[in-house]
């Protein structure tokens, strides 16, 4: 009953490296997979024959037949186990096992033909019908296994069934001839059935082999895609690291330049010098914003921005916006108004602040007269944050493109040509951040009337207020007479510029280039020494240490309430959350003097002169 199927046509096309034909391997494997069922069927057939003919067949004949059958059965069982252990690999291996399987099939066919020849004359009609049905059953059962090898199947069927038909016809009666003819006709129809089955099975095998080829191709393409993705991730990380390192290194001299320029203003009252200092500070401020925009885009695109929503009062952000932008709005003659600060929202406060900073910065830049309004109000199940301006407005055609990278509305700065146009990344950053927070962003604008940007947030729950109120006006002048300010900065140019600027504002300076230096000074100070009024430290210091360590050590010596400002050239390390946890304020290099002045005034509670 059991055998292998013919290999599919044109095996060379499907032959794999090493000479293996996947069609032949598949068929031989399936044959031996059928072997347990085949042997079980043969054992059942032996039992049926023994049951039908045990009492009416001479014992020597029955014993010889049983012995021969068991020899063949054991041989095929042994062959099946050997195949499972051999695990054939090459074409020659599969071909050899096909021959073994064919030999076993032919031996079984001969045995069933012999069974029909021997036992048919010993029984009456019941035994004879049972014998015919049994032999025919094994011929039909061989179709799924042998149909793909028609010659082997025909040989097996002939060996099994023809002796039975000849034995019946040998009785010489009309009935015997008719029965033999019917059996041969049935066998012919079964052969046609086997042929049809072979065609269908071959199509299935073809499809399976094709699917295997597609799967192998998919694995190769997936591996290539994974390799390309890993290379892209490495390149993306390298780009981010490059931007981070380059930004930090370039911000240092820019920061020092701004400090020296402001110190120069304090030394000279010449109008031309003041004008030059203003130009230098404006350029430093412009470069700082360009760095921030590039780094924000890089960080967002590299997946380095995580969303951490929490409940907070929007007024916490409004106070920071007022501190940061009110001096700029005042200088341009604009009114900066913030309304609705009592509303609670559930979002990431750092990302919301970034969005508002970009929108307010754009509004102030492009508005030449009037008001910039930042408002928050409840509408249904959402909280609307809006930034209104009375600028030139944006046409409907341009509104579809303003969120693209590096795109700027044509003629947007014609009314104030001395201001820089920037890179055109601010609104692209806003769009990305609002998408990260799942906060829909919309724009409405009318030429000559102004623009309003709106993005929606989820309402939040009330939490205790922790942020102190901030004066609505930043000081235009600053005096630090009698104030002791500790500086920890390892960049000599930045440290010298900061010393010159603060001394020009009247402060007493204790300046150090390392955490160890500042700690040694603090430990050696007498108990009645003046307590520092403010700490200004760089984040990245010598030997991998940072300014937060210096703040911690100073507070351990002089008390936990010493105000602190950390100045850093990196925007990629998530210092904002650390600043909230460690109670210090953060400034990103380069810091123009008016921002530093406003921050110092806020930390010390100093009023402008």
In a domain, 226, yes or no: no
In a domain, 201, yes or no: no
Q: What does the block give as tokens for 361?
A: 């910065």
Higher pLDDT, 462 or 570: 462
- Residue pLDDT, tens place only, 351-365: 888 888 888 888 888
Q: Which of 170, 185, 218 is the C-terminal boundary of a domain?
A: 170
User: Has residue 129 got a pLDDT over 80?
Assistant: yes
User: Has residue 67 got a pLDDT over 80?
Assistant: yes
Residue range 56-77: average pLDDT? 88
The pairing of beta strand 484-488 with beta strand 534-538: parallel
Q: What residues are paired with 336 via a beta bridge?
A: 372
In terms of Cβ atoms closer than 10 Å to its own Cβ (0-12, 13-18, 19+), residue 47 is exposed
User: Has residue 102 got a pLDDT over 70?
Assistant: yes
Q: What does the block give as tokens for 111?
A: 């045995």
Most confident of 199-213, 434-448, 575-589: 434-448
User: Has residue 188 got a pLDDT over 60?
Assistant: yes
- Residue pLDDT, tens place only, 217-244: 888 888 888 888 888 777 766 666 665 5
Query: How much is the pLDDT for 473?
Result: 38
Query: Where is 443: in which H helix or E strand?
Result: strand 441-446
Do 281 and 416 belong together in one domain? Answer: no
Q: Residue 536: helix, strand or coil by DSSP?
A: strand
CATH assignment of the domain containing 551: 3.40.50.2300
SS3 assignment for 336-372: EEEECCCCEEEECHHHHHHHHHHHHHHHHHHCCCCEE
User: Has residue 606 got a pLDDT over 60?
Assistant: no
* CB environment 185-198: b (16+ within 10 A), e (fewer): ebbeebbeebeebb
Residue range 522-546: average pLDDT? 83
Q: Name 586's Cβ contacts closer than 8 Å, sequence gap at least 6.
A: 565, 566, 567, 568, 575, 576, 579
Q: How confident is the model at residue 574 (pLDDT cuts 50, 70, 90)?
A: low
Do 491 and 555 belong together in one domain? Answer: yes
Do 375 and 324 belong together in one domain? Answer: yes
In a domain, 333, yes or no: yes
Do 317 and 443 belong together in one domain? Answer: yes
CATH assignment of the domain containing 453: 3.30.565.10
In a domain, 604, yes or no: yes
When mean pLDDT is compared across 66-70, 180-184, 252-256, 326-330, the lowest value belongs to 252-256
Residue range 377-390: average pLDDT? 89
DSSP string, 375-421: EEEEETTEEEEEEEE-S----HHHHTTTTSTT---TTTTGGGTTS--
- Residue pLDDT, tens place only, 291-333: 666 666 666 655 656 778 888 898 888 888 887 788 778 878 8
When mean pLDDT is compared across 179-193, 219-233, 250-264, 505-519, the lowest value belongs to 250-264
In a domain, 182, yes or no: no
Q: For residue 273, give its domain range.
A: 239-304+475-609
Do 491 and 598 belong together in one domain? Answer: yes
Do 461 and 393 belong together in one domain? Answer: yes
Residue range 6-12: average pLDDT? 39
Residue range 582-590: average pLDDT? 78
- Residue pLDDT, tens place only, 466-504: 444 333 333 445 577 888 899 988 888 778 888 888 887
Query: How much is the pLDDT for 408?
Result: 65
Do 361 and 244 belong together in one domain? Answer: no
When mean pLDDT is compared across 36-50, 139-153, 269-283, the lowest value belongs to 269-283
In a domain, 432, yes or no: yes
Q: What percent of the chain has pLDDT over 70?
A: 76
Q: What does the block give as tokens for 478?
A: 């600053």
Write the CA distances from 365 to 320, 357, 368, 415, integer angstroms: 18, 12, 8, 11
Higher pLDDT, 601 or 272: 601
Q: Name 252's Cβ contacts closer than 8 Å, sequence gap at least 6.
A: 491, 493, 494, 569, 589
Q: Which of 448, 473, 498 is the C-terminal boundary of a domain?
A: 473
- Residue pLDDT, tens place only, 332-349: 888 888 988 888 989 888
User: Has residue 155 got a pLDDT over 60?
Assistant: yes
Residue range 363-386: average pLDDT? 88
Say how many residues make up the chain. 609
Do 349 and 436 belong together in one domain? Answer: yes
- With CA atoms as reference, report the closest residue to 63 among 46, 38, 44, 39: 46
Q: Which of 473, 505, 533 is the C-terminal boundary of a domain?
A: 473
Higher pLDDT, 573 or 350: 350
Q: What does the block give as tokens for 318?
A: 């409004």
Do 322 and 436 belong together in one domain? Answer: yes
Do 49 and 105 belong together in one domain? Answer: yes
Q: How confident is the model at residue 570 (pLDDT cuts 50, 70, 90)?
A: low
Query: How much is the pLDDT for 104?
Result: 85
User: Has residue 528 got a pLDDT over 80?
Assistant: no
User: Has residue 4 got a pLDDT over 50?
Assistant: no
Residue range 211-221: average pLDDT? 86
User: Has residue 5 got a pLDDT over 60?
Assistant: no
In a domain, 293, yes or no: yes
Residue range 402-422: average pLDDT? 54
Q: How many structural domains comprise the chain?
A: 3
Q: Is 482 left (phi over 0), alpha (psi -120 to 50) or beta?
A: left
Query: How much is the pLDDT for 294?
Result: 61
Give the Cα separation of 420 and 394 in Å (integer).
18
Give the Cα separation of 568 and 558 in Å (integer).
24
Q: What is the pTM of this model?
A: 0.42
- With CA atoms as reference, report the closest residue to 439 among 455, 461, 460, 459: 455
Do 41 and 66 belong together in one domain? Answer: yes
> Mean pLDDT for the chain?
77
Give the Cα separation of 157 and 142 in Å (integer).
9
Query: How much is the pLDDT for 280?
Result: 72
Phi, psi of 383 (to 5 degrees): -115, 125
Q: What does the block give as tokens for 357?
A: 């900073």
Do 379 and 454 belong together in one domain? Answer: yes
In a domain, 588, yes or no: yes
């Amino acid at each position: 009953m059991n055998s292998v199927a013919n290999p599919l046509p044109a095996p060379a096309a499907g032959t794999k490296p090493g000479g293996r034909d996947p069609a032949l391997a598949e068929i031989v494997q399936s044959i031996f997979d059928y072997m347990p069922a085949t042997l079980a069927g043969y054992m059942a057939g032996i039992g049926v024959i023994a049951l039908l003919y045990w009492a009416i067949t001479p014992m020597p004949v029955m014993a010889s037949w049983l012995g021969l059958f068991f020899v063949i059965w054991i041989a095929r069982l042994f062959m099946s186990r050997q195949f499972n252990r051999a695990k054939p690999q090459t074409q020659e291996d599969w071909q050899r096992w096909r021959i073994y399987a064919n030999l076993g099939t032919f031996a079984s066919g001969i045995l069933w033909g012999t069974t029909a020849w021997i036992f048919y004359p010993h029984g009456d009609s019941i035994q004879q019908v049972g014998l015919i049905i049994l032999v025919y059953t094994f011929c039909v059962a061989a179709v799924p296994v042998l149909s793909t090898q028609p010659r082997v199947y025909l040989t097996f069927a002939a060996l099994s069934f023809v002796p039975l038909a000849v034995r019946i016809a040998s009785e010489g009666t009309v009935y015997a001839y008719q029965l033999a003819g019917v059996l041969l006709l049935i066998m012919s129809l079964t052969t046609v059935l086997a042929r049809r089955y072979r065609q269908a099975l071959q199509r299935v095998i073809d499809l399976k082999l094709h699917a295997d080829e597609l799967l192998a191709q998919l694995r190769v393409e997936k591996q290539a895609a994974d390799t390309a993705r890993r290379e892209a991730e490495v390149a993306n990380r390298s780009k981010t690291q490059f931007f981070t390192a380059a930004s930090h290194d370039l911000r240092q001299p820019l920061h020092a330049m701004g400090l020296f320029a402001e110190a120069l203003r304090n030394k000279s009252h010449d109008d031309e010098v003041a004008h030059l200092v203003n130009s230098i500070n404006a350029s430093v401020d412009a470069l700082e914003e360009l760095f921030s925009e590039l780094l924000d885009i890089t960080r967002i695109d590299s997946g380095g921005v995580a969303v951490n929503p929490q409940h907070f009062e929007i007024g916490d952000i409004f106070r920071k916006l007022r501190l940061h932008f009110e001096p700029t709005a005042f200088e341009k003659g604009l009114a900066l108004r913030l309304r609705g600060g009592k509303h609670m929202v559930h979002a990431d406060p750092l990302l919301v602040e970034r969005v508002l900073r970009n929108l307010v910065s754009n509004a102030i830049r492009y508005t030449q007269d009037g008001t910039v309004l930042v408002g928050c109000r409840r509408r249904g199940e959402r909280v609307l944050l809006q930034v209104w301006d009375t600028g030139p407005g944006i046409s409907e055609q341009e509104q579809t493109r303003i969120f693209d990278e590096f795109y700027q509305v044509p003629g947007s700065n014609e009314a104030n040509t001395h201001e820089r146009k920037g890179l055109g990344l601010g609104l692209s950053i806003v769009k990305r951040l609002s998408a990260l927070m799942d906060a829909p962003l919309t724009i409405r604008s009318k030429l000559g009337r102004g623009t309003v940007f709106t993005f929606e947030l989820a309402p939040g729950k009330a939490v205790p207020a922790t942020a102190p109120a901030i004066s609505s006006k930043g000081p235009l002048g600053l005096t630090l007479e009698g104030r002791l300010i500790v500086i920890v900065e390892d960049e000599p140019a930045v440290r010298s510029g900061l010393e010159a600027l603060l001394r020009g504002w009247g402060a007493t300076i204790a300046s150090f280039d390392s955490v160890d230096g500042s700690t040694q000074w603090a430990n050696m100070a007498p108990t009645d020494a003046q307590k520092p009024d403010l700490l200004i430290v760089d984040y990245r210091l010598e030997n991998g240490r940072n300014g937060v360590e210096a703040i911690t050590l100073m507070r351990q010596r002089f008390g936990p309430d010493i105000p602190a400002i950390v100045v850093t050239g990196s925007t990629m390390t998530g210092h904002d959350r650390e600043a909230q946890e460690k109670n210090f304020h953060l400034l990103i290099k380069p810091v123009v003097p008016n921002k530093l002045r406003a921050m110092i005034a806020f930390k010390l509670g100093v009023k402008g002169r």
